[in-house]
Structure 1
Amino acid sequence: MQVLDRVRAAVLAYYGAPSADSASVTFLGLEPIEILRVRDGDHIHYVTLGGSRHPMTDPAAAVADPERGPRAELVLTLRGGLGAHSGLTRALGVLIASPSVEGIVLQEDALLDLGEPLWHNAPFTAALLGAAPVPPVPLPEPAEPVRFLSAVPVTATEAAWVRIRGAAALRDAWDEASIDIRDPRRAAAAL
């Protein structure tokens, strides 16, 4: 079974979904990236499928190992109906392609800033990565398991807060203000 088939099966099993809607994003020079949309009650989980096709490589490494290295996919969860987040598929494709394009390794507490709205008319221009609830998908040795990282939309002000004070400080501000980070209409944390 191919890596992406394993990842798709694990995502569908985790959310208890027999299937998922999907959209494909392609960028010049990269293999297609699929974005799965899984509805779970009032929540929609957008899950990338393609970032784990190859391991991420440290840009300082002299040679990229085709089998060893971390592999990741992103999960962005929002409350609300389908169609309200026009453009999000493209933005998630850009975020998950960043290891191939920019040579970064996606990890918890990383801030990925697009500098433009994540979807049409959204106040969010960046995503803060954290641990996602989907369990890692084991792969045959010597490949590392595929990890899932949550991608939480953040405003430019919140992104600046992360750069100055760190991801933990922003999460504390969200908790203190009882902000639902899955609400696409939420206000930014009062920092």
Structure 2
Amino acid sequence: MSSVSDKVAAHVTAVLGGEPQRASVTFLGVEPIDVLRFVDGDEVTFATVGCSRHPMQDPADLAPDPMRGPRAEAIVRMRAKAPLAGLHKSLAMLAAAPAVEGLILGADSLVDLQEPLWAGAICSAFLLTADAVVPELPLPEPADPVTFLRAVPITANEAAWVRLKGAAALREAWDEAGTDVTDPVRAAVAPH
């Protein structure tokens, strides 16, 4: 039987198509996180492989279930208007957060790395939402399915806005401003 990571890589590749580039990032004490990179015209999609290897658990749980619990992977879509050097490492850090910091990733989660997500970026955090393109991947019982979360790069000011007013308020501000969150050189939105 193939591993969860093999199933995730095959699932994402089948949905997005093409042959992705693959980078592996390792963190001390954590199994490697792979990041797949798909290019389709001027759109670049990054997808993590490895976050869902194990279910996400509350670190206070002294006897976590090794099979049951939420599993997730992250997807980032950007337009290739500028180099995105280092984005795969930031995405791997996001994917490693459940194992390293005990985070449980889900829709409307805010993960602030407090450093540029790629060289020259104004964005330093990710806002997660359900991905509309990659459907969840069922796993054999009793394991929960793997959910794919779109990780939208956001600025420090936008992250502060999410903490203060919530993710929905930031999304409304993007809509009002006509913000293209896939533009790597976009201006930060100033919610009101």
The answer to whether the superposition gives a TM-score over 0.5 is yes
Bigger drift between 105-114 and 8-17 goes to 8-17
Q: Aligned partners of 2:148, 2:69: CA distance in 1, in Å?
A: 15
Give me the CA root mean square deviation: 1.1
Superposition TM-score, scaled by structure 2 size: 0.95
Alpha-carbon deviations, 1:46-74, whole Å to 9, x = none? 00000011110023323121111111000
Structure 2 alignment gaps of length 5 or more: none
For structure 1, which runs of at least 5 residues remain unmatched after alignment? none
Match of 2:102 in 1: 103
User: Structure 2 counterpart of 1:143, which letter?
Assistant: A
Match of 1:114, as an amino acid?
L
By how many angstroms is 1:189 displaced? 0.9
Give me the whole-angstrom Cα distance separating, in 2, the residues matched to 1:97 and 1:3. Answer: 15
TM-superposed deviation, 1:123 = 0.2
Equivalence for 2:124: 125
Cα distance in structure 1, aligned partners of 2:166 and 2:59: 23
Match of 1:47 in 2: 47
Give TM-score scaled by structure 1 length. 0.96
CA distance in structure 1 between the partners assigned to 2:68 and 2:94 by the alignment: 21
How far apart in 2 are the matches of 1:8 and 1:113? 26
Q: After superposition, where does 1:10-21 map in structure 2 within 5 Å?
A: 10-17=11-18, 19-21=19-21
- Percentage of pairs with the same residue: 56
The answer for the alignment partner of 2:33 in structure 1 is 33
Q: Is the 8 A contact 1:15 1:40 kept in 2?
A: no
